Amino acid sequence: MTRVDVLVVGAGIIGLSSAFHVKRLCPSCRVLLVEKHPGPGHGDTGRSAAAFRAFFTSRTNMALAASSIAFYREVQEREGFDLGMRFTGYLFLLTEEQHQALAPVLEELRRRGLGYRVYSPEELEELLGLRTRPGGEEAELMQLPGIDVGVLAENAGIIRPERLVEYYSRRIGEMGVEALYNTRVEKILVEPEQPLGVPGEPLPWQKARVVGAATSRGEIRADVTIVAGGAETPFLLDPVGVDIHAKPKKRQVFVIRADRPELRRLLHAEGFNSLGLAPFILLPKGVYIRPAPEDNAFWVGASDHLGRPFSWEPDPQPEEHFYEYGIYPVLHNYLPAFENARPSSAWAGFYDISIDGQPVVLSEPGLVAAAGTSGSGIMKADAVGRIAASLALGKKRAALYGGEEVDASILGTRSRRVEEERLVI
Amino acid sequence: MTRVDVLVVGAGIIGLSSAFHVKRLCPSCRVLLVEKHPGPGHGDTGRSAAAFRAFFTSRTNMALAASSIAFYREVQEREGFDLGMRFTGYLFLLTEEQHQALAPVLEELRRRGLGYRVYSPEELEELLGLRTRPGGEEAELMQLPGIDVGVLAENAGIIRPERLVEYYSRRIGEMGVEALYNTRVEKILVEPEQPLGVPGEPLPWQKARVVGAATSRGEIRADVTIVAGGAETPFLLDPVGVDIHAKPKKRQVFVIRADRPELRRLLHAEGFNSLGLAPFILLPKGVYIRPAPEDNAFWVGASDHLGRPFSWEPDPQPEEHFYEYGIYPVLHNYLPAFENARPSSAWAGFYDISIDGQPVVLSEPGLVAAAGTSGSGIMKADAVGRIAASLALGKKRAALYGGEEVDASILGTRSRRVEEERLVI
């Protein structure tokens, strides 16, 4: 049996950040990280679309993302540790109706000093080769709306998750956090504070707490266990009666090589940032395009709502028809540069979708759970880790990077105090 | 293939009430109720503790419970349909600390005209034979707190679920709602509004809606499907990507016959109501006692939090040790009348626990889901059914019994606007 002060379950980006901040706040704590994969970031962290934006309507979402992005920027620019961050911007392509609906939100964001730029249809046509009025039989059948305006969020862009994973895992190694890979958590352990040795403990009248985990390498006991299992978190917490209020949903990302002049021109579009790169583009109907300049490619995907299941499987595979029928028809109708483009590769992972699209960080005696990042975990990981670490160390408040303090219970389920997010992809 | 206007899945109390109110609001609608059991109310509705209270701190909870109770009272007193309602009251037994913490809440309830009475330890000792200061080795080991005050909520009591089920099912029969029992829903059907016949439909860019259900008796198509599957709701909705944000947790109820003078005296305790019956009693540590005068018995149970799983099984069984170690030690230490009392029978069912202990009624295109009643479904069923029916019929507002109108989206997940409930059992 191993005994530690803080056990962190999961070496995805949330677990890594949590372990880092626990050790930073409590250098004398013995912190142990366990992960079923052979290394850090091998799960859904590495299967994301790897983009970031400090552009949300929920103040909480904004604080989480903006402070995390500022921290990553500091790491890259001051510490000189390349995270592959590129401030390409996020371009929302909107109908006039959507723009009208968002107008008060954008006004509020402007007041808060969140820079954005507005593009006319003519500018979008010129800079991206965008068909703002897609026509033809297919476009009509699909009821593809016309695009009347582009809104570019400037404090936004792309990042390389494997570099961020490398940063945190290197730092926690230096700080003395122990890590056990290839180690599967079989069960979170709950015990009464004063065990009696009778059946069914903890009994309803007993004060119970989480005391660690049973793993494939034996029992690990801890004062506090931080569960950061991403989309698999419910499988660990349901058996102990804790509801993280998040569910797994498959995400698929397809890689399109910029192997012809039209796509190369699009990838290196001018007019959006000082890098001469296309921004992260949000087309109507939930289709998104991420520039991947290091691969001379684009990553494309689509969010969906009603109809596709909440479910989990150990080795999710991308589905050819999801690209062919789900993404391509939208893609090529708006951006003819993608005409006949087919993916050269693809992967699938899981979103971990919470009740409101914002992360969940809850605490119970001996337990902190951090999950539900809903597809924006990387861009908020530093802040989520700070909040999880603060709860694990019994603090009422958490200091985000840059100094803003938040109530550490803000992302809990019963204690939740987050605002509605209206800039949803 | 059957075609109806409104399909209701589940003939528990929520499904019955929903079907009733749909048909009441839309007499010309063809409404079909399907249920896997051989009759109505055969699931968790019939396995509850069957009590009610119009005594909550959340205004929403209050409106749901108070209006439903008023409706049931009307049914029993004006329509002359006996629901077995008895206004025994709900007696919360509190420590001074708990009482202090609840003081502002009680003050607010008083201002809202919610009648309650306060009992001193001496009165409780005299009226119930309560040991307000349980002593001895076991009580000390268990850290059983002393009871300093009793708060009796007056608009509260017990009800017979099978009578309420009978009322609704008789009424919907008279009104022309069709019911199919022994009919299992295999799948909720989601289709694009304009199908193309390609793989993977509905595709992410397509407008999709729920169009009915595949059942063991074939496909049933409906303009709107109301899913009221209680604790099983996630099994129906997860496959179509709708999260009801509620999970099943086992509940157990044990029957103790009042077969000796001390227990008979307790059952017929004076001083709490005009019926000369013991109130529904909430002891510390989550143990509750429901008078069951028609059986000359008490029903006892205990709520629990950390440690017992969220899980579901088709035929849950009560666990002997749950009574013996989980309930009895609390019971007999406070109420010596239960000394050596053992259950004559018992049953188990499932709570359907939502994020905040209040019901969930959400809508998606073609779908309404009503569940998450968290152990207080019967006492709120009429209001929940009215809200579900209003959403199913495309109304923005729902009129509760007595005339209060609420926004029909108030119990949704994304649109949720409920206040924290602080009178939790």
Test A200 with B286 for CB contact under 8 angstroms. no
CATH number, domain with residue B375 = 3.50.50.60
Q: Is the pLDDT of residue A365 over 80?
A: yes
Q: Is the pLDDT of residue A172 over 90?
A: yes
Test A247 with B242 for CB contact under 8 angstroms. no
- Pick from B58, B203, B211, B238 the residue to mutate for testing the A interface (most A CBs within 10 Å): B203
Q: Say if residue B145 is in the same domain as residue B269.
A: yes
Lowest mean pLDDT among A117-121, A194-198, A368-372: A194-198
**pLDDT at residue A415 in the model:** 79
Test A364 with B326 for CB contact under 8 angstroms. no
In a domain, B280, yes or no: yes
Measured distance CA(B161)–CA(B230) in Å, rounded:
15
In a domain, A21, yes or no: yes
**pLDDT at residue A114 in the model:** 83
Dihedral sign, Cα of residue A206, residue A210, residue A215, residue A220? negative
Measured distance CA(B323)–CA(B198) in Å, rounded:
56
Q: Say if residue B202 is in the same domain as residue B350.
A: no
- Give the contacts of A260 (CB within 8 A, at least 6 positions apart): none
In a domain, A305, yes or no: yes
Size of interface A-B (CB pairs under 8 A): 152
In a domain, B78, yes or no: no
Q: Which of B310, B327, B365 sits opposite A238 (nearest CB)?
A: B310
Contacts of A356 in chain B (CB under 8 A): 414
Contacts of A245 in chain B (CB under 8 A): 245, 355
Test A307 with B240 for CB contact under 8 angstroms. yes
Residues 200-229, chain A, touching B (beta carbon < 8 A): 200-205, 207-210
Q: Find, in chain B, the residue whose alpha carbon is nearest to that of A319.
A: B200
Test B205 with A305 for CB contact under 8 angstroms. no
Quote the minimal CA–CA distance from B25 to chain A in Å. 27
Q: Is the pLDDT of residue B425 over 70?
A: no
Q: What is the mean pLDDT of chain B?
A: 96
In a domain, B60, yes or no: no
**pLDDT at residue B130 in the model:** 98
Q: Is the pLDDT of residue B424 over 80?
A: no
Q: Say if residue B337 is in the same domain as residue B395.
A: no
Test B200 with A322 for CB contact under 8 angstroms. yes
Measured distance CA(B149)–CA(B250) in Å, rounded:
30
Share of chain A above pLDDT 90, in %: 91
Report the domain count for chain A: 2
Share of chain B above pLDDT 90, in %: 91
Q: Say if residue B174 is in the same domain as residue B278.
A: no
- Pick from A187, A191, A203, A325 the residue to mutate for testing the B interface (most B CBs within 10 Å): A203
Banded pLDDT at A104 (limits 50, 70, 90): confident
Q: Say if residue A267 is in the same domain as residue A346.
A: yes
Q: Is the pLDDT of residue A29 over 80?
A: yes
Residues 267-286, chain A, touching B (beta carbon < 8 A): 285-286
Q: Say if residue B255 is in the same domain as residue B344.
A: yes
Test A190 with B329 for CB contact under 8 angstroms. no
- Which residues sit opposite A252 in a β-bridge? A348
Banded pLDDT at A425 (limits 50, 70, 90): low
Tell me the residue type at B108.
E
Banded pLDDT at A236 (limits 50, 70, 90): very high
CATH number, domain with residue B345 = 3.30.9.10
Measured distance CA(A285)–CA(A93) in Å, rounded:
10
Residue B235 touches partner A, C-beta closer than 8 Å? no
- Give the contacts of A296 (CB within 8 A, at least 6 positions apart): A257, A258, A259, A264, A267
Share of chain A above pLDDT 70, in %: 100
Q: Which of A142, A238, A307 sits opposite B309 (nearest CB)?
A: A238
Q: Say if residue A217 is in the same domain as residue A264.
A: no
Test A204 with B245 for CB contact under 8 angstroms. no
Q: Say if residue B253 is in the same domain as residue B350.
A: yes
Quote the minimal CA–CA distance from B170 to chain A in Å. 35
Q: Is the pLDDT of residue B187 over 90?
A: yes
Q: Is the pLDDT of residue A243 over 80?
A: yes
pLDDT tens across B302-351, in order? 998 898 999 999 999 999 999 999 999 999 999 999 999 999 999 999 99
| Whole-complex ipTM | 0.94
Q: Which of A247, A307, A355 sits opposite B238 (nearest CB)?
A: A247
Q: Find, in chain B, the residue whose alpha carbon is nearest to that of A365.
A: B306
Q: Single out the residue of A150, A111, A110 nearest to residue A130, CA to CA.
A: A150
**pLDDT at residue B420 in the model:** 80
Measured distance CA(A302)–CA(A316) in Å, rounded:
16
**pLDDT at residue B157 in the model:** 98
Q: Quickly list DSSP for A154-210.
A: SSEEE--HHHHHHHHHHHHHHHT-EEE-S--EEEEEEEESS----TTPSPTTS-EEE
**pLDDT at residue B305 in the model:** 82
- Pick from A306, A367, A417 the residue to mutate for testing the B interface (most B CBs within 10 Å): A306
Q: Which of A205, A310, A330 sits opposite B330 (nearest CB)?
A: A205
More confident site: A276 or B106 = A276
In a domain, B6, yes or no: yes
Which residues constitute the domain of residue A173?
2-50+162-242+356-407
Test A287 with B190 for CB contact under 8 angstroms. no
For chain A, report the end-to-end CA distance as a whole number of angstroms.
45
Q: What is the 3-state secondary structure (H, E, C) of A241-298?
A: CCCCCEEEEEEEEEEEECCCHHHHHHHCCCCCCCCCCCCEEECHHHEEEEEEHHHCEE
Lowest mean pLDDT among B112-116, B214-218, B250-254, B368-372: B112-116
Q: Is the pLDDT of residue B418 over 90?
A: no
**pLDDT at residue B423 in the model:** 76
Q: Find, in chain B, the residue whose alpha carbon is nearest to that of A353.
A: B243
Measured distance CA(B19)–CA(A128) in Å, rounded:
53
pLDDT tens across A43-74, in order? 999 999 999 999 998 999 999 999 999 999 99
Q: Say if residue A167 is in the same domain as residue A288.
A: no
pLDDT mean over B243-267: 97
Q: Say if residue B256 is in the same domain as residue B305.
A: yes
In a domain, B72, yes or no: no
- Is the CB of residue B289 less than 8 Å from the CB of residue B301? no
In a domain, A419, yes or no: no
Banded pLDDT at A199 (limits 50, 70, 90): confident
Q: What is the number of other CB atoms lying within 10 angstroms of the CB of residue B424? A: 15
**pLDDT at residue B315 in the model:** 94
Q: Find, in chain A, the residue whose alpha carbon is nearest to that of B189.
A: A307
Q: Say if residue A143 is in the same domain as residue A265.
A: yes
Banded pLDDT at B42 (limits 50, 70, 90): very high
Q: Say if residue A230 is in the same domain as residue A172.
A: yes
